[in-house]
């Protein structure tokens, strides 16, 4: 069965967190238990050493048996530990009792009372003076067995153990401390028996608190992991939908970017890719359309003059036309169409040469005002014949530019000839040359019909004509502006076009400040 990425992430995160919390709970519980047990042992060892000093004074006769019993019972209540004192032979001297209301001293001292009657009774196995709770044979046997296990203490070692106590019949922590006199001899031992039931109850509450904290942490983790997995999976699903749309050829779908992390960057990259592909596809479709138009235009441009030439030639050859004037007119038309074909082929070869990367132009420092003045002079007759005012001006000192003189003349001829071609009689064409911020700027403006806004991006393409009808009155090949663009790029210049239907057209040509390598 297929599992979603969200499920995998959720289960994986929760499993890891659960294992970490479980490990933490077990480790923390073990550390807490060890800490409290160690602290209790250290406390009992310290108190045991203190009581060993008291026992040493008792053995030296500085403390009476009554005082010893009182001290043992008092410390018992303070430590919550049953205190036993034995001599060097392992015989029990005194045993504390946690019961209240028992007065030390006297013949009936209660369980474990000091030297005298009580001591003897304990050594005999808890006799009549020990009270009914300790009047069992098993008690004396358990005590003897326990004392036998404490042999290392009588060699001067401190012994700590936790086990089920055979006398008290519950789990106890045992700390046995030797009583060493001034000469280094072990006279006896102090045995402290601390029940661990209370400590276990306290630790149980701690374990419960740790468990509850762990459950709360697990619940919080559940919420966070769910939000996190959704935060990861949701944008991935959006990216999947966007990628699927792109695979189907639809590039308008975008991913909503809600974060700036790696996933957000991936979504942004996918959006950029979709936009780039959209532009690429649009550009490809545009290029394909231009290619089809190019083929159609070339076919049209070639077929029309060839058809005219063939028709007129056949008419002359088969004798259909015999009138001298008509024959001369046919010959002139044949020459005109031949020249048209020649211009088309020349322009195609010229454009191909300019577009070839290996083609290099010879460059030199060219005074641009002389180039413009020469071109304006060439076209003045054409302008006058069409009754179009052709003017030009330049302001200030214009520094020479680095370029090819022939190509610059060709560029100005193309731009000015187009301006004159599309400017009706009574209109005007003006040329301006100036230096702005170190850049040489040429402005060519006409008052012609203008270029529709939707045609502006395509006027630099080969064979593209604003006149979609391709009338015979338009003698251009449709390659002029394509050639002009190549010349402009070869000179490192830039050109901008401002135009609109019925508003005329303005070309602004900007040459770079520094000389260029062409």
The pLDDT confidence band at residue 3, using thresholds 50, 70 and 90, is low
pLDDT for the residue numbered 112: 38
pLDDT for the residue numbered 514: 58
**pLDDT tens, residue by residue, 126-164:** 333 333 333 333 456 666 767 777 778 888 888 888 888
CB 463 within 8 A of CB 479: yes
Spatial separation of the C-alpha atoms in residues 36 and 30, rounded to whole Å: 10
CB 412 within 8 A of CB 372: yes
Rounded to the nearest 5 percent, the helix, strand and coil shares of the chain are 55, 15, 30
The pLDDT confidence band at residue 276, using thresholds 50, 70 and 90, is confident
pLDDT for the residue numbered 441: 94
Spatial separation of the C-alpha atoms in residues 99 and 362, rounded to whole Å: 120
Phi, psi dihedral angles at 435 (to 5 degrees): -110, 115
CB 263 within 8 A of CB 232: yes
| Sign, Cα dihedral of 97, 181, 53, 71 | positive
Percent of the chain with pLDDT over 70: 85
Q: Which domains does the chain have, with CATH numbers?
A: 5-202 (3.30.450.20), 262-353 (1.10.287.130), 361-511 (3.30.565.10)
Phi, psi dihedral angles at 81 (to 5 degrees): -140, 135
Sequence-separated (6 or more) residues with CB below 8 Å from residue 509: 415, 441, 442, 443, 444, 488, 493, 494, 495
In 10 A of CB 185, how many CB atoms?
A: 11
- Sort residue 156 into left (φ over 0), alpha (ψ -120 to 50) or beta: left
Asked which of 6-10, 35-39, 412-416, 514-518 is least confident by mean pLDDT, the reply is 514-518
Asked if pLDDT for residue 61 goes beyond 80, the answer is yes
Task: Give the strand pairing for 439-446 and 505-511.
Answer: antiparallel
Spatial separation of the C-alpha atoms in residues 105 and 242, rounded to whole Å: 95
pLDDT for the residue numbered 71: 86
Task: Give the strand pairing for 428-436 and 389-394.
Answer: parallel
pLDDT for the residue numbered 506: 94
In 10 A of CB 333, how many CB atoms?
A: 15
From residue 428, alpha-carbon distances to 379, 414, 448 in Å are 13, 17, 8
Spatial separation of the C-alpha atoms in residues 392 and 412, rounded to whole Å: 12
**pLDDT tens, residue by residue, 402-460:** 999 999 999 999 999 999 999 999 999 999 999 988 889 999 999 998 988 888 888 88
**pLDDT tens, residue by residue, 284-337:** 887 787 677 777 777 777 777 888 888 888 888 887 777 888 888 888 888 888
Asked if pLDDT for residue 115 goes beyond 70, the answer is no
> In the chain, how many H helices and how many E strands?
10, 12
Asked if pLDDT for residue 107 goes beyond 80, the answer is no
Spatial separation of the C-alpha atoms in residues 476 and 347, rounded to whole Å: 10
């Amino acid at each position: 069965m297929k599992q979603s990425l969200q499920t995998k992430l959720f289960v994986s995160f929760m499993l890891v967190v659960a294992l970490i919390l479980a490990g933490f709970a077990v480790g923390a519980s073990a550390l807490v238990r060890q800490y409290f047990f160690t602290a209790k042992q250290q406390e009992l060892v310290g108190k045991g050493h203190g009581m060993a000093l008291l026992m040493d004074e008792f053995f030296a006769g500085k403390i009476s048996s009554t005082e010893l019993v009182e001290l043992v019972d008092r410390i018992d209540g303070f430590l919550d530990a049953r205190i036993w004192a034995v001599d060097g032979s392992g015989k029990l001297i005194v045993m504390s009792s946690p019961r209240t209301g028992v007065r030390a001293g006297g013949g009936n001292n209660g369980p474990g009372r000091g030297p005298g009657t009580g001591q003897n009774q304990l050594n005999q196995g808890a006799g009549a003076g020990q009270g009914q709770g300790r009047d069992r044979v098993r008690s004396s046997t358990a005590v003897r067995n326990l004392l036998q296990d404490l042999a290392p203490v009588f060699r001067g070692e401190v012994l700590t153990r936790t086990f089920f106590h055979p006398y008290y019949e519950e789990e106890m922590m045992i700390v046995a401390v030797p009583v060493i006199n001034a000469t280094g001899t072990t006279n006896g031992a102090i045995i402290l028996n601390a029940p661990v039931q209370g400590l276990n109850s306290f630790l149980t509450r701690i374990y419960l608190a740790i468990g509850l904290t762990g459950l709360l942490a697990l619940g919080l983790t559940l919420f966070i992991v769910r939000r996190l997995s959704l935060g990861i999976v949701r944008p991935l699903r959006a990216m999947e939908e966007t990628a699927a749309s792109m695979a189907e050829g639809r590039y308008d779908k975008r991913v909503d970017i809600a974060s700036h992390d790696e996933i957000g960057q991936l979504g942004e990259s996918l959006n950029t890719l979709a936009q780039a592909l959209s532009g690429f596809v649009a550009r490809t479709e545009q290029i394909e359309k231009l290619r089809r138009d190019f083929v159609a235009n070339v076919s049209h441009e070639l077929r029309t003059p060839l058809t005219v030439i063939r028709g007129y030639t056949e008419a002359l050859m088969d004798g259909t036309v015999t009138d001298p004037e008509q024959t001369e007119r046919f010959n002139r038309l044949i020459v005109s169409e031949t020249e048209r074909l020649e211009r088309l082929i020349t322009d195609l070869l010229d454009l191909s040469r300019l577009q070839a990367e290996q083609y290099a132009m010879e460059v030199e420092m060219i005074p641009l005002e002389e180039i413009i003045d020469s071109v304006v002079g060439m076209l003045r007759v054409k302008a006058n014949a069409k009754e179009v005012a052709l003017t030009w001006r330049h302001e200030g000192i214009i520094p020479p530019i680095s370029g090819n003189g022939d190509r610059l003349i060709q560029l100005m001829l193309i731009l000015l000839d187009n301006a004159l071609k599309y400017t009706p009689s009574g209109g005007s064409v003006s040329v301006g040359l100036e230096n702005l911020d170190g850049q040489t700027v040429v402005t060519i403006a006409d008052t012609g019909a203008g270029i529709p806004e939707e045609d502006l991006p395509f006027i630099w393409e080969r064979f593209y004509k604003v006149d979609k009808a391709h009338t015979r009155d338009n003698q251009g090949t449709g390659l002029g502006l394509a050639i002009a663009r190549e010349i402009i790029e070869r000179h490192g210049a830039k050109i901008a076009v401002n135009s609109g239907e019925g508003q005329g057209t303005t070309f602004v040509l900007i040459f770079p400040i520094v000389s260029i390598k062409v």
